[in-house]
Each structure stands twice: as structure tokens, then as C-alpha cells.
Structure 1
Amino acid sequence: MAKRNTYNEDESLTTHFNWHDYARLGHYLRPYRWRLLLVLFTIVIGNIAVVLGPFLMKVAIDTAIPNRDMALIWTLSGIFLASLCIAFTCFRYRIWAITEIGQNLLIDMRTDLFTHLQELPFAYFDSRPHGKILIRVVNYINTLSDLLANGLVNLISDIISVIVTLIFMFTISWRLTLDSLVLIPILILWAYVIQKKQRRAFRQLSNKQSNLNAYIHESIAGIKVTQGFAQEQSTIQHFDQVADDNRDAYMQAVKIQYALSPGVQNISTMTTALIYFIGIQQLGVVVSTGTLIAFIGYINNFWNPVINIGNFYNDLITATAYLERIFETMDERPQIQDAPDAFALPPIKGDVRFNNVSFRYDDEGPLTLSDVSFHAQAGETIALVGPTGAGKTTIINLLSRFYNVTAGTITIDNINLQQVTLDSLRQQMGVMQQDTFLFSGTIMDNIRYGRLDATDDEVQQAAKIAHADDFIRSLPSGYQSMIQEHGDSLSAGQRQLLAFARVLLADPRILILDEATAAIDTKTEALLQAGLNELLKGRTSFIVAHRLSTIQHADQILVVNHGQIVEAGRHEQLMAQHGEYYQLYESQYQMLQAQD
């Protein structure tokens, strides 16, 4: 199997982040471009309304009040009141529109990521804790949603505000405007110094957040084992360590993040003091009282959005760590995908051939299967037996193309599986995995998952063949009984019976049963075997079983060991050879005798 990253192991990025990748985010803004243009128009109008205030104040102080022009004062007051109403209306619309766009962006991006996860192979999920995948779909997307919508549009609003303010400032006094910009280079240098440290700190924080989420997910999934072995205290100690690491990383990241804001605030205060100093020296000569008061107002209008832009830059650096993880997942290429010239597999008879098939999970790892060849004619039942880890489940996973072969070919009706589409292949196969999984919902819905257009009668008929109907009807709500997550409210045997009914409902041409009767008691197994005998007629079936008594009537029994087929034949033939199959059978028989 692929090397698995664990909850206490930091993930390393396979590629360096490229700032040009931020252009990819435009894909999510494009569907809302007209709404955004309307928002931007509203922002321009609102900003103009806001910056009118100091200009009106200048006119009032320099012209209307000295001349006692009450008509002009009333006119200026009316314009000022109207500008406040316009600014309030524009601001309210902007908040509402941006919130809606932000939520739509959240859905779009999360849907793309979730859809991509459906296409990734088993190897991707085998190689990392599911909690580390979950945090990317939920937490990281939430962080980016606010950045893409509210943060981005606010950035544009602040830039427009700065431009409009500068226009008014240059109109009033170009000398004071240039004086107020003299400290900008210091701000740029300050931001440049801390941005690299901030990005590294938040990348480390994303690692620790991912580790914490993975440990919580793993601990909840294994709570029965924890309590069964009375290891609650040990689990809490591990949690405390992971949580402490997350806290330390957070504090370090925040310490660097908030280093920018005080710098901007100090530069803003120094600029205001500088303008007061210069303006008072020139008061009455170059600068009028109204001009100085208006300019101080514009200084605030200028630096407030600059501070916001600095905060957005902070958020941008912070979000980069999360964006890297999301793009890393989106850029993960599915190893199992349709070839460019793939075609739909026509209705099959079920003739299966493995031709010198070899397989390894890792490119540099050992071979799990080595030169495996066999032929299953249409309608035959093939049993795969052997010790744990011999390669039995790997064979059926390759047949379903959950993995691609390393060497050799697999054909169905003489058609290479690599040449057909995955959907057309798997729609004609029914697979019951070794680990039974049931979804939250009703029993009826879980069985119908095998064929979504099946009627209630067809669902119930499949359950009867699987001998699940009796226990289902004994439940208070029958087929409408709700199943808890993973089906924990049912016994292991009941879960397998439901999963078996789900496969039966799909009515596949090729049936794959991986340890289908492992958790079923002897009485239930005898009932199920009768249904199986009817089910297996007319279709090609592959059965992986440790209970050799269940596969004695198979057309072929393949004994797998060390990734190779070491024996093949019917039950009687293999027993006569006194080889590995004979030893497996005899050891099981003696074990059952001892239990009796």
C-alpha cells in the first residue's frame, strides 16, 4: 500500500505556490461579473458621496461663512445630507450583494473540490487521513470564500476610494498631497519584510490545523476501540499535544500577521502630524483654514482605505497557505480515468481474462501481484482463496479498475479495460467490498443505492433473495427504518445482508463478493447460500472467501499466495493434489471440529 501520512505528520507541498495561480480564482468570479460591475458602480457613487463631505466643509469655511451667505450654507447642508443618504444606501446594497455573491462562490468552489474528490483513485484516500481531506473542503474553503467575495470587492472599493480621494486632494492642494505621500515607501518596505515570514507561519499553521482535524476525526471513528481498551486518558494526552502544537503555530502566525497593522497606523498618524506641521506653517499664506481642515479630513479618508488594503494584503498572505492546499488537491490528477479515445463498453457476456498482470501500489514499491493469468468464462463462478495479504482483494480491485495494472492486460469479452469508459464498465459490475459501508438514511434508500430507479417491490425482492427481508420487517419501521452513520445501529451480519441486497438489486453481469459472508452466522449463511446459488446462475462471479465451505461448488478456485496464483482447479481436484488448498481446508475443518 502507499505510504500513509498520519495525524502527527506535517504535509509537505509537492510544488511551490505561484502567485499567478491567483488568476485561477477569476474562474469563480466570472459568472457574477455583471453583478460585480453593478456593485463596483455602487461603490464609485458611494465613495464620491463620502468624499464630498470635506470639500463641502472647505467651501463653507472659506466662502459661505465669511460672506454670511445663508442660501449657500443651506444648499451645502442639503447636498451634504443627500450625500449621506446616498452613501448609506450604496453601502447597504454593497453588503447585501457581496454576501450573496460570497455564498455562491463558496458553493461553486466547494462543489468543484468535492466533485474532483469523487474522481480521485483509492490510492489518494489510502495515503492520508480523511480528516486532512475534510478540512480542505470545509474550513479552507470558508476562509477563501470571504477573501474572494467580501475581501476582493472591498479591496476594489478601497482602491477606488483612494483614487477619488487623491483626485480631490490634488484639486485642493497638490503640494500638501505630495507631502502626505512621502511616508508611503516606508509602508511598502515594511509590508515586504513581513510577508515572507507571514506566509511561512500560516503554512505551518495549516499543517497543525490539518493534523488536529485528522486526529479528532480518527478519534471519533475509533471511539469504541478507545473505550473498549480504557484508553481515554491516553487519547486525551495525544489530543492535548496536537492541540498545543496548533495553538503555538496559531500564536506565532498571529504575532507576525498583526505586525503590519500597527505599522500602517503609526505611519498614518505621522502623516497627519506632518500635514498639521506643514499646514500651520503655511496657514494664511499658501493654505487657507478651510483647505487645512478639508485636507485633514481627506487624510483620514485616504489612510483608512490604505489600512484596509494592508489588512487585505494580510488576509491574502494568510489565505495563500490554505489556497495552496486546495489547489494541490484540485491539481491531483486522477490516475484512474478514461483514455482520450475511450468508448462505452457494450453489454457484456462476462468472459474475463487476466493476461500476465502485475501490480504495485507505489512506483518504487514491491510487486503486490506478479504475472497473474487466468481465464473466467462467461457465467462461471471464480473463488479466490489464500492467506491474508496474498493479493485476492487486489485482483478484484483491478478488475473493477479501482487501480490500473502495472503490467499486463485485463479483458472482458476480449475488450481491454483500459480502452473503455469507467462508468460503462462499473455499471455492469456489482461490487460488495470487504468493508461494508451504509449511508445515513432509510434501509429502503440504502438498498436502492444499487439502482436508483428501482421500485419498492424490486428493493424488497432483492432483500428477500439476500434473506434480509425477515430482519428488516422485524424492525419498528420496516424498510423505512433509519440507519445511523455507518449503520452502527445494526449488527455486522445485518449490515452485510443489506449490502448484499444492494448488489443484487443492481443485477450486474459480473458480480464481485469480497468476504460477503464473513460476519454472517452459520444459520444465516445457510439461508444465504440458497439465494446465492440462484443469483450466480448466468453471470460471471468472483468470490473472495476465507470460509472454504462456501465456495466448494465454484467452477474454479484460485489459490493466491505472495501475489501469484499457486493452484487452480475445482474443489475435488485441489483436494486431491494435497497442496496449499488442501492444507487450508483441513486446517479450517479441524478448527471447526475443535469448536464443536
Structure 2
Amino acid sequence: MAQPPRPPLVLQPPAGDGREPAPEHRIKPVERLRRVFSYTRPYTGRLVAALVCLVIASGLGLVYPYYFGALAEAAFTNAAAADTEAAYRELGDNTVLLLVVFLAQAVFVFFRHYLMTWLGERVVADLRVGLYRHLAVMPQNFFHRTRTGELLSRLSDDVTRLQSTVGQDLSIFLRNVLTLAGGIAVLFYMNWKLTAAMLAVVPALMIAANYWSRIIREISRKAQDELATASGALQEGLAAIETVQAFTREDFEVRRYGGAIETTFGLFIQRAIARSWFAAVISFFAFAAIAGLFWLGGSMVIEGEITAAELTSFIFYTLMVAGSVGALAELLGGLQSTFGATARIFEILDTPPEIADPPAPVQSPAVAGEIRFVGVSFTYGDRDVAVVRDIDLHIRPGEVCALVGSSGSGKTTLGRLVLRFWDPTAGAILLDGHDLRALRLEDLRGAMAMVSQDPVLFSGTIRDNIRYGRLDATDAEIEAAARAANADGFIREFPLGYDTVVGERGVKLSGGQRQRVSIARALLRDPKVLILDEATSALDAESEHLVQGALEVLQRGRTTLVIAHRLSTIRDADRIVVLDHGRIAETGRHAELLARGGVYARLVARQAAAAADSPGEVPGGP
């Protein structure tokens, strides 16, 4: 099979190595906000309906002051003219009209509030799924440099902040902008002199808003970063709770988390103080303007320039405008939190996966399982020394190839490279003659399965965990895979059998039981290439015997890469590859390598000596 040209490889350095900051940090907050609202595009119909309801409700709100003025005129002017009957009639008519306006507005407010809340919740749900979909395809390198707790904080706290922005803040902003614009237009129509005097305070409000918004935005960013750090500490402590309790470090972990929370609390208090000052300054300027209008308007009434009813309407409109300015100022303070949240969320979404499908993937036929390493070298991004160097290795279809060597020799790295969790920094890995980087990840990994030293089970039932190997498998196929993995016996001993819940990471099962469930999962997948990463190294002798028997069934007819710690488990391998300091030192069968008296023979001798000194251990040599 001809080998296609290798696609170019671009390695991205990990965080903290001097790379340019994510582009999202250089985007203006308003642009980030516009990007947030772009998530409402699939629901344009609902958004338009909500905006129509909002415009109508806000327009009806502008009618209130007019009728309040009419009520005042009916109560005072007609009463002063001793026309009590006309005064009551006009008072009643205006009151009824005002109630009709209230009722109509309430209907539109209901639909506006429901539709905007629906949009907010829908956008948050879409964004959470989109974030998880993006994280699910990120390479191992990304998760090595980013704590899981911090990612969970982004998915929960930061995304929730956006829900308020889309579902509430947008509505509040537009409602108050319409009220502000409409109110000012009506005020100019009523009396331009009083309106000009009222607007004289606007420049001072704008200066104060600009100053405080910058302060609040910076504090919000720091607070959200610190909260993510605290979430990371919490997740780490809970994930390693056995180690925490074994070393009696409960108080230490609580203090560590508590310290991060206290720092976060302090930053949130700083933000609250800044927002409180902001609200106080805006409130003072707004009500000072109203006080000035009372004096100026009262003077104009005394001079006969306007009537008391006109002044009453004007004051109500002014209060409405002042309320809109105050609400917008408060909203601006709250948006600073949103700007910080969007920066982090879009930073994740804008981080491209370093391991991805090629633009034009090779369409390969059924996988045979031939693996070839051609001059493969690999260096982790945060290290200077290569983990593996100049690896040339050909594994034939159906061959069982064992990788052995001392700790750090590169065994596990080669297995991860075959799965394309990373790409080689030099050379190429071929599957049936195709460079792995020329294949779709789904096609590549769909033909493989891995059984590791510490298999991960999910918190559902045993049946669910085995079915994870092939989601469309029937119950009969699941049970057949369990029997082949020597797992059916212990599963049926549980009262609920295959419906037994295994707990988080399978904590309710023993190590050997977890291992056999993971083998059943791999059997059900029916892979062409199997990777066994020290699959029995953590088991006792009895469990190892059962698991080894299941592994022998699993390996039949498959290309198997065995990463071995206990050398006794790979004596029957078709070929043993001995790694030393990242290079291939020896290759051959068990007997050949022992007779050669090289690196492998020394490893076997050391394990045999260690087993002799530790009763109960399985000897590593013959």
C-alpha cells in the first residue's frame, strides 16, 4: 500500500512558555458581548417576538407620566374652578385609562420576560454543550497544563454569568434605553429649557461611569480567576480523597481551599465596594439633578411659564429618565463580570486542538493492524530531553509485541503515540502503510482499544460500562464479552448482577474486577489493534491469573502492543522490544534475550531477586 505524503506538523508550546496570549484577550469587551449574543441567531424568531413585546411595553410605560399629569389637572384645576362633578368625571376616566394601560403593559411584560428568560437558558445550554464538545476533542497536552477544576468553573460559574446577560441584562438594557430615549424626546417636546438643564449632568455621569467600569472589570477578572483556582483545589482534593485521608491531610486541604476562597471573597468584596461607590455617585448626580429641576420648575410655575400639571408630568418623566440612567449604570457595573467570564470562555473555545483530523483524510479499507515506527522521536513540550529517540519498529498484523524497560524508558509514550494522543516530534507512525496523521481520528481510534493499569469505569452500572465499548451492543453480546473476560462469575454474584452500580471510577469493585470489566469492554469493541498498558502490574497473584486468562482471549487475532512491568506476563510474546533511555536496546523472544545476557536479562534478574525478597510476589523470571 503506497504511503501518502505526511501532512505538515505544527507543535504548539504549552502555556507559560512565553507564547502570545490568546486572541480573545485583545478583543474589545463590546466585541465579546456581541459574540455572546451571536448564540441567539438560531432563535431569531423568539428574539424578535421578545423585542416587539419589549418595545410595546416600554412605549406603554411612557404613557404613565402623561396620565399622572392629567389626573393632577383634574384634581386641582377643576376643583379650583368649583366644578366638582367634572373633576370626578375626568378623574375617573383617566384612572380607568391608566388601568387599561397597566393591564396591556403587564401582558407584554409577561411575554417579554418569558421569551428572554427562555433565550438565556437556551444559550447557556448550547454554550455548555459546545464547550464540552470542544474540550472532548482537545489533546492530552491541553489537560496536562489545565486543571480539571478550573475547566469545571468555566462550565458552571462563568457560563451562568452569561445566562444573566442574555436572559436579563439584554432586556433591562433595551428597556431602559428605549425609556431613556423616549423620555428625553417627550421632555424636549414639553419644555426644552428644563430638559437642557436636566441633561447638564450627563457628562459628569459618563466620566464617572467610564472610571468605575474599568476598575470593576479588572477586579471581576481577578475574582473569576481566583474562583477557578479554588475550584481546581477542591476538585483535586476530592479526586484524591483516599490519599488525603491516608496522610491525615484533611485540615491541610481545607485550609488550602479555604485560603483560595478567602482570597476570592476579598476580591468579590472589592468589586462590591467599587460597584457600591459607582451606584452612589450615579444616584447622587441623578437626584441632585432632580432637586435642581424642582427648584427651576417651581420658579417657572411661580412666574406663570408652565402649569402645575405640566410640572407634575415633567417631574414624572424626569424620574423615569433618572431611573433608566441608574439602571443602565448598575447594568454597566454588572457587565464587567460578564466581560471577564466571556474572556475565559472564548479563550477555551478559540484554542485549536493540536491533534485533529487532516483536511483531506485518507479513506482506508478495513484495518489489518500493521504498525510501523519510522525514525520516531518525541519530546514533551515542557521538557528539553527526548522521551523516545530514533525508534524503528515493524509490528506485523496479529503479532503480540511487548515493550519492556526500566521506568521512564518510553514504553507508555509509544503506546500513547500509537493512539495519537500526541504526534511525534520527528519521524512517523504508520498503520497499514498510512501515516496516522493522514487518518481521521475516529477511524484510527475506532480500530483500537486500550486496557490500562488503572482502568477508568464510569459511575453507572456494570452493563453500561461494558457497553461503552460498543454502544449498540445487545445484552447478550455484553454478557458474552463478560464471560470471555472471566467477569461473568463475579458479576452474577452481586444481587443486581449486571445492573450493579459501580460508583465513581468503579470504587465499589476490586482492582481485579475493574480490570476484567475493562477487558470485557475492550472485547466488545472488537479492535484490530490492542494496547495493554501494564494491565496486571497492580494485581495480586490470584487476580492476575484470572486477568491474564482474559487477556489471552482478548489478544487472539489482534495486533497487540503490551507495555509490561511484570516480565512474567510477556514470556510468550511473539517479540519483546527492550527500551533503554528512549532507544531500542534489544529485540527478540524471551529465551533469546535471556541467553544474550543483556539489558533484558538484567531486568529479569532484578525482578526475580525482588520477588525472592518479597514473599507473595510473582517471580519475574523463569
Shorter chain as denominator, the TM-score bin is over 0.9
Assess if the C-alpha contact under 8 Å between 1:447 and 1:459 holds in 2: yes
- Equivalent residue, structure 2, for 1:326: 345
Provide the rounded CA distance (Å) in 1 between the counterparts of 2:293 and 2:520.
81
More displaced stretch, 172-181 vs 19-28: 19-28
Alignment-derived partner of residue 18 in structure 1? 27
Task: Tell me what 2:488 maps to.
Answer: 469
Which residue does 1:220 correspond to in 2?
A: 238
C-alpha separation between the residues in 2 aligned to 1:41 and 1:127? Answer: 47
Q: 1:515 to 1:484 in 2, by over 3 A?
A: same
Match of 1:40 among 40, 45, 51: 51
| 2:589 alignment partner AA | R
Instruction: Measure how far apart 1:63 and its partner are.
Output: 6.6
Q: Secondary structure at the match of 2:377?
A: strand
Structure 1 portions without partners, runs of 5+: 7-11
Partner residue in 2 for 1:249:
267
Report the CA distance shift for 1:530/1:435 in structure 2 as closer, same or farther (over 3 A): closer
Residue pair 1:344, 1:424 contacting (<8 A) in 2 also? no
Q: Deviations over 1:86-112 (max 9, x none)?
A: 122222222222222211111011111
Alignment of 1:66-77 (within 5 A): 66-67=77-78, 68=83, 69-70=86-87, 71-77=89-95
Match of 1:18, as an amino acid? I
The yes-or-no answer on 1:139 pairing with 2:157 is yes
Report the more deviating stretch, 340-349 or 467-476: 340-349
Q: Partners in 1 of 2:398 and 2:307 — Cα distance?
A: 99
> Aligned partners of 2:222 and 2:422: how far apart in 1?
33
Give the whole-Å Cα distance in 2 for the aligned partners of 1:168 and 1:297: 11
| Shift in Å, 1:72 | 3.8
Q: C-alpha displacement at 1:447, in angstroms?
A: 0.5
Query: How many angstroms apart in 2 are the aligned matches of 1:160 and 1:126?
Result: 49
- Give me the TM-score of the superposition, normalised by structure 1: 0.95
Alignment of 1:146-185 (within 5 A): 146-185=164-203
Kindly report structure 1 stretches of 4+ aligned residues shifted beyond 6 Å.
2-6
1:559 paired residue number: 578
Report sequence identity in percent.
32
Using a 3 Å threshold, how does the CA distance of structure 1 residues 186 and 423 change in structure 2: closer, same or farther?
same
Residue deviations 1:108-158 (CA, integer Å, cap 9, x gap)? 111111110011001111112210111001111001111122111221111
Paired letter, 1:146:
S
CA distance in 2, matches of 1:478, 1:363: 46
- 1:52 aligned residue: 63
State the alpha-carbon separation in 1 of the partners of residues 177 and 611 from structure 2: 80
User: 1:532, 1:432 → 2: CA distance?
Assistant: 9
CA distance in 1, matches of 2:555, 2:383: 39
Residue 532 of structure 1 aligns with which residue? 551
* SS of aligned partner of 2:133: helix
Question: Is the Cα contact below 8 Å between 1:13 and 1:328 reproduced in 2?
Answer: no
Post-superposition shift, 1:319? 1.4
Q: Please state whether the residue corresponding to 1:259 is helix, strand or coil.
A: helix
Choose the corresponding residue for 1:204, options 213, 219, 222: 222
Deviating more after overlay: 327-336 vs 426-435: 426-435
3-state SS, counterpart of residue 411 of structure 1: strand
Q: Counterpart amino acid of 2:215?
A: K
From 490, 506, 510, the counterpart of 1:487: 506
Tell which deviates more after alignment, 358-367 or 583-592. 358-367
Pair 419,520 (structure 1): closer, same or farther in 2 beyond 3 Å: same
The answer as to whether partners of 1:5 and 1:129 remain within 8 angstroms in 2 is: no
Letter matched to residue 524 of structure 1:
S
Correspondence for 1:400 among 419, 437, 451: 419
Aligned with residue 388 of structure 1, among 407, 410, 418: 407
Describe the SS at the equivalent of 2:463.
helix
What secondary structure, in the 3-state scheme, does the structure 2 residue paired with 1:85 have? Answer: helix
Deviations 1:265-301 (A, max 9, x none): 1111111011111111111422211111111111111
Q: Secondary structure, in 3 states, of the residue corresponding to 1:441?
A: coil
Which residue is 1:508 aligned to?
527
- Unpaired runs of 5+ residues, structure 2, are 1-11, 616-622
Amino acid corresponding to residue 296 of structure 1 in structure 2? I
Deviation of 1:60 (Å): 4.0
Match of 1:577 in 2: 596
Amino acid paired to 2:46? R
How many Å separate the matches in 2 of 1:345 and 1:118?
25
CA distance in 1, matches of 2:432, 2:605: 37
Measured after TM superposition, the shift of residue 62 of structure 1 is: 4.2
CA distance in 1, matches of 2:551, 2:55: 72
Measured after TM superposition, the shift of residue 586 of structure 1 is 1.2
- Could you tell me how far apart the structure 2 residues matched to 1:197 and 1:344 are? 55
Residue by residue over 1:461-499, the C-alpha shift from the partner in whole angstroms, topping out at 9 and shown as x without a partner, is 111121111111111111110111111111122111111
Tell me: CA distance 1:433–1:253, structure 2 relative to 1, closer, same or farther (3 Å). Answer: farther
| 3-state SS in 1 of match to 2:77 | coil
The SS at the match of 1:483 is coil
Q: Which amino acid aligns with 2:61?
A: V
Counterparts of residues 333-352 of structure 1 (less than 5 Å): 333-352=352-371
The aligned residue for residue 39 of structure 2 is 28
For residue 360 of structure 1, report the CA deviation from its aligned partner.
1.4
Distance 2:503 2:74 in 1: 77
The question of whether the paired residues in 1 share the 8 Å contact of 2:453 and 2:536 is answered with no
| 8 Å Cα contact 2:403/2:579 also seen in 1 | yes
Contact in 1 for aligned 2:519/2:551 (Cα 8 Å): no
Structure-1 separation of matches of 2:120 and 2:179: 22
Taking structure 2 as the reference length, what is the TM-score of the superposition? 0.91
Identify the match of residue 85 of structure 1 among 103, 112, 121.
Answer: 103
1:313 aligns with 2:324: no
Map Cα deviations across residues 328-369 of structure 1 (whole Å, 9 max, x no partner).
111111001011111343211111100001111207632121
Render the CA deviation track for 1:219-262: whole Å, top value 9, x for unaligned: 11122112112222222332332222222222222222222111
Q: CA RMSD in A?
A: 2.1
Task: State the secondary structure of the residue aligned to 2:392.
Answer: strand
**2: CA distance, partners of 1:30 / 1:3:** 35
Code of the aligned partner of 1:129: R
Following the alignment from structure 2 to structure 1, what is the Cα–Cα distance between the partners of residues 427 and 14?
Answer: 27
- Secondary structure of 1:32's aligned partner: helix
CA distance in 1, matches of 2:451, 2:13: 25
Q: Which residue of 1 aligns with 2:297?
A: 279
Q: Does 1:95 align with 2:113?
A: yes
Helix, strand or coil for the counterpart of 1:354?
strand
**Structure 1 letter corresponding to 2:486:** H
Match of 1:270 in 2: 288
Q: Quick check: 1:359 aligned with 2:378?
A: yes
Structure 1 residue identity aligned to 2:446: Q
Bigger CA drift: 163-172 or 299-308?
Answer: 163-172
Find the aligned partners of 2:205 and 2:39 in 1 and give their Cα distance.
32
For residues 365 and 27 of structure 1, the distance between their equivalents in structure 2, rounded to whole angstroms, comes to 43
Q: Which amino acid aligns with 1:152?
A: L
